[in-house]
Each structure stands twice: as C-alpha cells, then as structure tokens.
Chain A
C-alpha cells in the first residue's frame, strides 16, 4: 500500500514567519511530488511540484525533496493570513509524473495576524 504521511496539525505560525510543512512517502519508486492547497470548503489547487532532489523555489514557496530519506517539504516564507489553509502532499505511485495521485491527509496551517 503506497502511503503519504503528513502531520495533520494544526500548525500555527505568526504572520511574517516561515511555515514548514512536511511529508514522508513510502514508495521509493516515486519520482514526482505535488503540493496542493485547499481552502476550507474549496477544492484543491496545485501550488508546486518537484521532481529532482534539492530545492525548487516559486515566489514565497520552496519545495524541498530528499529521495534518500523519502521526505518532501514545503516552506512558506513571509507567511500571510491568506496562506491559512490545508496543504496536501501527493504523488503518483510507481514513478512517472502523471497518472493517479495518492494524497496525504493534509496539514492545516493557520497564520495569525
């Protein structure tokens, strides 16, 4: 059974701080990882994906991947109250970048003004 583990939170950070969201996965063959953001009552929206070991930056967001440790993280710099949402980690099992996505349960982030 391919699994994704996330701390459900809630993770509470003050406005302007760095929020760190973590995810571990069980499938060593996985090659790509996705971070989705889901506001309460809304559908998930993709914010980043990463294929290679190391860091990938997009604005205030940085995804970090360590395949040896089967660990992927999302850093949000200068956190804003509008970042308050549930962040879902996902990956397509068996490698590749397409196909099905297995989602974690999500980490609920709360950014306090």
Chain B
C-alpha cells in the first residue's frame, strides 16, 4: 500500500511569490490534515478535511493561505504571497475513518528567501 505522497519535497522561493504544495493521501482515508512544523517544534495543525469538507481551519492564516480538497482525495495547500516566516516543513497526513492512527507524508520543506 502506498503511503501519503507529497510534492515537491523541497521548494525555495523568494518572498512575495506564490507557492503550492500537493498531497495524495492513502487510498480510502477520508480524513486529511495539513500541518506545519517549524524547526525544533512539533507539528501544528493548519487545516483538517473530512472528505471534501474543511471541518477545522481555525489555525489557517486565511489572508495568505488557502487549501482545497476537490473530490475528497488529493489536496493542495497554497501560500500567496509567501513571507520569510513561512519557511517550515509542511506535512500532510491522512487517517481512515474509525481508526486512530494518522500517517504522515514525507513533507515539503519550504525556504523563503
């Protein structure tokens, strides 16, 4: 079974530029999470989807961040415009309904210069 797939693995952009991250969850997993992890910190939730519905986006900086999960499968997270403080690892995770374990993808390491 393939795991959670994220792309790109690394991204370097200049501040004020847009950037997008893509996530393909494990097949059959209806819950999808986007987390942000700063160096030396634990992951912090940005948004959670149950199927195609965003059920918790309270931590998503909506002035510059947006996310979508069309058809309840793949998801994209976008930042526009990026700021220096957005440099972090962006992690996608998925979980199957009824199970406790969430599986993480390898993450996208974003560097804003």
Contacts and interface: CB of A to CB of B under 8 A. Distances in A.
Interface string B69-113: 000000000000000000000010001000111111111000000
A69 B41 CA distance: 24
- Interface secondary structure of A, over-half rule: loop
Interface residues of A, number: 22
Interface residues of B, number: 21
Interface in A72-90: 88, 90
A45 to B, nearest CB: 7
Contact of A42 (B40, B42, B99, B106): B106
B53 interface: no
Contact of B100 (A97, A100, A103): A97
B14 interface: no
Contacts of B95: 98
B100 A34 contact: yes
Contacts of B45: 100-102
A43 B89 CA distance: 9
Contacts of A45: 104
Interface of B: 31, 33, 40-45, 48, 56, 91, 95, 99-107
Interface of A: 4, 8, 32, 34, 42-46, 49, 88, 90, 97-106
